[in-house]
Amino acid sequence: MNRLIALLLFALAAVAQVPTIEQAISFRGLGEARLSPDGNLAAYVEQSADWKENEFRSQIWIARADGSGTYQLTRGAKSASSPRWSPDGLLLAFASDRDGKRQIWLIDPRGGEAWALTEEEGGVQGFEWMPDGKALIYTSAGPEPKELKERKEKYGEFEIDSVDYRYAHLHRVDLPANPGEKGKSDALTSGSGYHVSGFAIAPDATRVAFTAGRDADLSSSHTVDLYLLTLADKSVKKLVDLYGPESDPVWSPDSRQIAFTTANGGKEYYYRNSKIGVVPADGGQVRLIATDFDENPRLLDWAPSGLYFQGLQRTHAWLFQANPATGEWRRALGDESFSLPGVSFSRDFRQVLVAGVRPNDFVELYITAAARLEPRALTAYRDQYKEFKLANRELIRWKSTDGAEIEGVLYKPADYDAARKYPLLTVIHGGPTGIDRPWRAPDRYYPIERFAAKGALILRPNYRGSAGYGEAFRSLNVRNLGVGDAWDVVSGIEHLAKLGLIDAARVGTMGWSQGGYISAFLTTAESARFKAASVGAGISNWMTYYVNTDIHPFTRMYLQSTPWDDPQIYAKTSPMTYIKNARTPTLIQHGQNDARVPLPNAYELHQGLRDQGTDSRLVVYKGFGHGINKPKQMMHVMEENERWFLKHIWGEAVGN
């Protein structure tokens, strides 16, 4: 029998009880969900792969809150997302680019044909219903400016950096007299004085609180402040003027106060906790509440009983409530066995729709009472996996080189044998303020379930800087990027080796974005420990990154300097500084148009590895940015990783 065929058959037999890569990408998944005002229906987004058109499609479904069933509401070749119930629950607004640009569409939630309410040349971004249900407020950059059109006709297309901005502004669209007709739109704000990023409508419908920065540049996030628009005369005033971004405005039920999240003037807001601020709607002093909540709160809604927000506590995602008068806070919903990464309320706040999950389970849609956690499932996405034997997740903890406690998720094969020693693969999340949890989900980028079925342990470390562990933990890699991260990963490997669980001679590492950077750091600074590495959209040289990225403040905050003022810290934390040590075979994957971690980082690492005689393979995905968001290219990313680690960890050369 041909050796290649034999290897393929062996590989297929080994993973027969886990999804193929194509199946993993094809599994349907749950997206944003909203509960109807009366609490009887839930509108939610379901994503699936359209292989023919090579797109990930999303459509809106409806679940009956009594558990009696679900049905698909939107269909078609274009995606539908962002469901928003009208105040009376008789209409559902959603976003779609069915007509070429993202517009607001309306549909009867009981079924029927949808119609486009807006026809914005620049498309629509965020939108919400007015309290009376007769109009919606939305943001849009509007039509292309006349002077820009004329310039393109005369000179062709080019862009002047930090000059050619499009500014998003607030608009109102009134519902038409007859269903199927376009609504009448009116601009509420305008000009080049600020770029609107988010908003909330007062319950009394007289004003809109919104956040806006000087332009759309992500490097201008420190200029985002809180403003107030009075609808009667379109007058605008700034309510909060502090260094650092304000976000998530939420109105009090009596329309007299606005809660929001704020950096509160902090200069290092990329890794510091944001705070909850409350300001009178007529202007005045900002008052901070829940100041001892040691994570980043995400404001949701202000009920008569208090202010609701979400937050992480280690690997848990829970619902919290703060008393705006006293500043005290408490956990409202969630426990050690049930997390709530998504939340939506009924009008009376008695019922809560949650995207909920238990350890070693999939995120599903649940309905529960607000007063106590009694979740009743409305979806069953886990049923797609019934025929497969999946890896089991468990949380483990260890001490890093400097004594910091690190937590991670350890994946064990379904047929785990404690008497064996397994190869180990570390899969490192991005961020650095990402987080891995012991939840199940379809594989992306890395075929983790297939690796586990092949006979590997997988460690996903929540290294220093990860979200969920508080501000002090997130600050541990300040001026210590890469270095401290490597401590955390290597100490995790050593911990498992001491327990006798792994074959320390067969260890690999992989990750995307910040996880790609850490894998690049490990493949150079700690090369002797790793048999194989995969670097996805990773940073190789902080100076290269700094001058090319779209978020320059990130590097200045974490490294506390620019490369011109402190070249030593940029060198200390850059994988390229240690390139002469690199011996680990390394796969590099990168999007051609990546603005977050630009492509020169990939070329720099690739050439450096080749100059050392180290096995390096670079794959550039044309037309893609920081993420690979189409099914066929995602399949290639995953297949490349599978082949790379089969070759270098298991010694199997399968295909090219």
pLDDT at 164: 84
Predicted confidence (pLDDT) at residue 205 exceeds the cutoff of 80: yes
Taking the alpha carbons at both ends of the chain, their separation in whole angstroms is 20
Amino acid type, 256: R
Q: What percent of the chain clears pLDDT 70, i.e. is strictly above it?
A: 97
Full DSSP string of 443-471: --SS-HHHHHHHH-EEEEEE-TT-TTS-H
The tens digit of pLDDT for each residue in 23-72 reads 999 999 999 999 999 999 999 999 999 999 999 999 999 999 999 999 99
Is there a domain that residue 639 lies in?
yes
- Structurally, the chain folds into a number of domains equal to 1
CATH of the domain at 456: 3.40.50.1820
pLDDT (tens digit, 9 = 90+) per residue, 121-135? Answer: 999 999 999 999 999
Span 628-644, mean pLDDT?
97
The owner of tokens 């309306």 is 106
Relative orientation angle of helices 448-455 and 3-14, to the nearest 10 degrees: 100
Q: In this structure, what are the phi and psi dihedrals at residue 163, rounded to the nearest 5 degrees?
A: -130, -45
What's the pLDDT band for 449 if we cut at 50, 70, 90?
very high
Overall residue count recorded for the chain in this entry: 656
- The reply to whether 453 falls in a domain is yes
pLDDT at 656: 64
Whole-angstrom CA distances from 462 to 36, 96, 270, 378, 425 are: 36, 36, 17, 31, 15
In this predicted model, what pLDDT tens digit does every residue of 370-406 receive, in sequence order? 989 999 999 999 999 999 999 999 999 999 999 999 9
Please state, in angstroms and rounded to a whole number, the distance separating the CA atoms of residues 378 and 367.
7
Q: Can you give the pLDDT at residue 7?
A: 46
Specify if 86 maps to a domain: no
Which one-letter DSSP state was computed for residue 440? B
pLDDT tens for 355-366 read 999 999 999 999
pLDDT digits (tens, 9 = 90+) for 458-472: 999 999 999 999 999
Within 10 angstroms of residue 611's Cβ, the number of other Cβ atoms is 12
How far is 500 from 10, CA to CA, in rounded Å? 27
Is pLDDT of 9 > 50?
Answer: no
Q: Assess if residue 220 is contained within a domain.
A: no
- Mean pLDDT of all residues belonging to the chain: 95
Residue 116 resides in a domain? no
| pLDDT interval class at 349 (50, 70, 90) | very high
Does position 2 have pLDDT exceeding 90, yes or no? no
Exposed / middle / buried, residue 337 (Cβ in 10 Å: 0-12, 13-18, 19+): exposed
Please state the rounded mean pLDDT for residues 296-306: 97
Helix (H), strand (E), coil (C) string for 142-164 = CCCCHHHHHHHHHHCCCCCCCCC
Number of Cβ within 10 Å of residue 365's Cβ equals 27
Per the structure, the complete domain to which residue 509 belongs is given by: 423-648
DSSP-derived secondary structure for 230-262: ETTTTEEEEEE--SS-EEEEEE-TTSSEEEEEE
Question: What pLDDT is attached to residue 143?
Answer: 87
Q: Edge-to-edge strand order for the sheet containing 225-230?
A: 195-201, 207-213, 225-230, 235-240
- CA-angle at 495, arms to 493 and 501, nearest 5°: 80
Rg of the chain in Å (alpha carbons): 25
Residue 286 lies in a domain: no
Least confident of 216-220, 316-320, 481-485, 625-629: 216-220
- pTM of the predicted model, to two decimals? 0.94
Residue with tokens 């400016």: 145
Q: Is residue 493 part of a domain?
A: yes
334 inside domain? no
